Amino acid sequence: MKLIVGKSQNIAGKIKAPPSKSYTHRAIIISALATGNSILKYPLKSEDTVASLESCRLMGCSIREHGKHWLVEGSSGKLKTPSDVLDVKNSGTTLRMMTSVAALAPNYTVFTGDDSLRNRPMQDLLDALQGLGVDAYSTRSNGKPPIVVGGGFNGGSTSIRGNVSSQFISSLLIAGALSQEGISLKVEGDFISRPYVDMTRDVMNKFGVKVEYDENDNYFQVDPQTYQGTDYTIEGDYSSASYLIAAASILEGDLTIQNLFKESKQGDKLILDIAQEMGASIKVRNDEVKVEGSGELQGIDVNLNHAPDLLPTVAALGAVARGRTTISGVEHARLKETDRISTCTQELSRLGVEVQEKKDGMVIKGGVHPGVVKSHGDHRLVMALSLVGLKVGITIENAGVYDVSFPDFPQTMSRLGTSMKLEG
């Protein structure tokens, strides 16, 4: 499937931000572990979040769709072992969070996924789990899926490097609350993407579980506790909204995006500061953001250490801005669905952009021409490259993967006045 993006002049209107993928994953998994029933209001139904939903179902949890809500009958932490291998498709979040959760089931659970997922590093999480009495290993002994997790989560003390994936830490905290002893977790070295762990703690707290955190020592303590079912509303997603915010900055924009909360713990809220520094007008209210753009942006220097998912968006902004944009602090973006530093460099170069790839980021000199680019099977790359297309017109091959996080992205952009259509 190809996405044809035509050169556009304006984007305007009022729209509700897509529900947060990150919060939806966490709410599904935690409500499935809870005692009692929960109503998840306005969750994101996408390829990735459905992987978490189906994994919880296959481990014995009842989750039903009711209009725009999901009704979850909690398992009280008493999961069953799936009768077959769990295929989580391309969802790294599902794989990482459910790996620890699977230790709460009685027997061995096996996880696999697509080609991209089977190249995602898991060894740090497996090592940390083994330190907590869990038999967890890679079937190919290379630290990558397929992954096998044995039942029985004793708990205790363990440590993990903080510079690989914050999802490992979230995974351990979520399941650790239901371990026999609770867990003490030391984060070693740099602690990347910490806002994502803050989001995890936020959802755990909403379902009645407290996590103690010593910021000075990067030390977490989770005592044995019980999740309590509750009604939980999924907030809007700053990651997905970043494409809307960027589009309104790149074009002559007058766009209001609802369901984006001023006090959100999402690290990707940083896109507001980035767009404003590059030249857009940003007005933030309690639950919505208004973006006004003139179509003229200026390059900036930005560290994305705590917001790696913004890399493709900011790279696209840099490609159409005047001057130079330097992105740093985001080496861990190489461990996403693709090596996003490399794939962004490759595809922007196809469009005539001067890009210098760095170990932890990239240097971009604005200037772009029309062309044909590839998605590399990465949903964020599709949506980011489409932003460049709004200025010059491009074709994106294998574009249907946007469905992973923003199922109606082209339709949404078209309704707001831009030129996007799917072919094939």
Q: Is residue 166 a known part of a binding site?
A: yes
- AA letter at 223: D
Annotation marks residue 309 as catalytic = yes
Phi/psi for 128 (5° steps) reads -65, -40
Residue 380 assigned ligand-binding role: yes
Q: Any known ligand binding at 415? A: no
Annotated binding residue 22: yes
Task: Look up residue 308 and give its two tokens.
Answer: 């790696």
283 Cβ neighbours under 8 A, 6+ residues apart = 289, 290, 292
Is 167 annotated as ligand-binding?
yes
Nearest to 402 by CA among 386, 417, 418: 386
Catalytic residue among 48, 124, 237, 309: 309
Cα 288 to Cα 112: distance, rounded to the nearest angstrom = 39
Is 322 annotated in a binding site? The answer is no
Residue 184 annotated as lining a ligand binding site: no
96 is in an annotated binding site: no
The verdict on whether residue 336 carries a ligand-binding annotation is yes
* C-alpha dihedral sign at 33, 37, 38, 44: positive
Question: Residue 295: which region, alpha, beta or left (left: phi > 0; alpha: psi -120 to 50)?
Answer: left
Annotated binding residue 165: yes
Neighbours of 280 (CB within 10 A): 24
Query: Any binding-site annotation on 309?
Result: yes
Cis before 146 (ω within 30): yes
List, as one string, the DSSP characters of 370-397: -EEEE-TT-HHHHHHHHHHHHHH-EEEE
Helix (H, G, I), strand (E, B), or coil: what is residue 413? Answer: helix
Buried-state track 378-410, b at ≥16 Cβ within 10 A, e below 16:
bbbbbbbbbbbbbbbbbbbeebbbbbbbbeebb
Is 64 marked as a binding-site residue?
no
Annotated binding site for phosphoenolpyruvate: 21, 92, 120, 167, 340, 380
Annotated binding site: 21-22, 26, 92, 120, 165-167, 193, 309, 336, 340, 380
Active site residues: 309
Annotated binding site for 3-phosphoshikimate: 21-22, 26, 165-167, 193, 309, 336
